[in-house]
Amino acid sequence: MKNFSLTLCFVFALVLNVVAKNGPSDPVLEETCSSVTRLMVQAIGLNESEYIIIKGLNQNRLSKAAEVTKMYGNDAEMRNIRLKEIESDFEAELFKVLNSRQVEAYYAFKAQPEGNFLAIVQEVAKAGKK
């Protein structure tokens, strides 16, 4: 019984460590990710499993964008090049998940102000500076 309790505590500590490492480090980033993903659900018509996958893709995209924004804060040209690369990588992964009707809906969503990746990155950067 003692070994079982010790093992259970060890597993619990290990799980907490993994969750802490993989969890959102920035609440503004997490909030933005959730709101963008919810907007995508409405605009594109995603089901629950697609929502989970795309939320992860959005989290990854926004955290990479935040790093690029910090790294290239003084070099707008390089920052924009890297942000376009991030967006291209995101779309390549996204299109693996979506069907053709959803891809068309994504392009319509992307044309709207709330779907503009560069505008979202600028909002996150401004909120992070506050």
pLDDT of residue 27: 87
Chain segment 109-130, per-residue pLDDT in tens? 999 888 888 777 777 676 666 5
- Whole-number average pLDDT of the chain: 81
Domain boundaries along the sequence of the chain: 24-129
**Residues sharing a CB contact under 8 Å with residue 69, sequence separation 6 or more, in sequence order:** 79, 121, 124, 125
Look up the pTM and report it: 0.74
Whole-number percent of the chain with pLDDT over 70: 75
| Length in residues, the chain | 130
Q: Contact, 39 vs 114, CB < 8 A? A: yes
**Helix, strand and coil percent figures for the chain, each rounded to 5:** 90, 0, 10
